[in-house]
Structure 1
Amino acid sequence: MRKTVGILGLCGILAGCGQVGLLPSANPTQSEGQTRPQSRPDALQTEVRLPPTNARTVDEFDTTTAEERAAAVAPTAASAEQALGSTVVSLGSPAQPGFWLETSLVSAPAKGRVLYPATGESVQVDLIPIDGGGSRLSLPAMRLIGVPLTDLAEVQVFSGG
Structure 2
Amino acid sequence: MSVILRRIAPPVLILALAACSGNPFTRTETPVEPVPAAPVSDAKVAATTTPAGSGVSIGTGPGKSAEALDTTTGKERAAAATPSAPVSDKLGRTIASLGDPAETGFWLKTPLVTSTRKGRVEDADTGKTAEVELRPSGGARGSGSQLSLAAMRLLGVPLTGLPELVVYTR
Please say if 1:129 is aligned against 2:133: no
CA distance in 2, matches of 1:76, 1:117: 20
Counterpart of 2:37 in structure 1 is none
Counterpart of 1:116 in structure 2 is 123
CA distance in 2, matches of 1:109, 1:125: 10
Which one of 131, 139, 148 corresponds to residue 138 of structure 1? 148
Contact 1:119 1:146 (8 Å CA) reproduced: no
Uncovered stretches (5+) of structure 1, i.e. residues with no partner: 1-52
SS in 2 for 1:141: helix
Per-residue Cα deviation, 1:21-64 (whole angstroms, up to 9, x for no partner)? xxxxxxxxxxxxxxxxxxxxxxxxxxxxxxxx952111000000
Which one of 17, 38, 58 corresponds to residue 66 of structure 2? 58
Which one of 90, 103, 117 corresponds to residue 83 of structure 1? 90
CA distance in 2, matches of 1:140, 1:59: 9
2:146 aligned partner, one-letter code: R
SS in 2 for 1:89: strand
1:71 aligned partner, one-letter code: A
SS in 1 for 2:63: coil
CA distance in 1, matches of 2:107, 2:79: 14
Number of aligned residue pairs: give it: 107
SS in 1 for 2:103: coil
Counterpart of 1:153 in structure 2 is 163
Uncovered stretches (5+) of structure 2, i.e. residues with no partner: 1-60
Superposition CA RMSD, Å: 1.4
Moved over 2 A (4+): 75-78
Per-residue Cα deviation, 1:70-128 (whole angstroms, up to 9, x for no partner)? 000112433x4210000000000000000000000000000000000222110000010
Counterpart of 1:31 in structure 2 is none
Deviation at 1:153, TM superposition (A): 1.4
CA distance in 2, matches of 1:55, 1:159: 34
SS in 1 for 2:153: helix
Instruction: Compute the TM-score of the two structures, normalised by the length of structure 1.
Output: 0.63
Larger Rg: 2
Instruction: Compute the TM-score of the two structures, normalised by the length of structure 2.
Output: 0.60
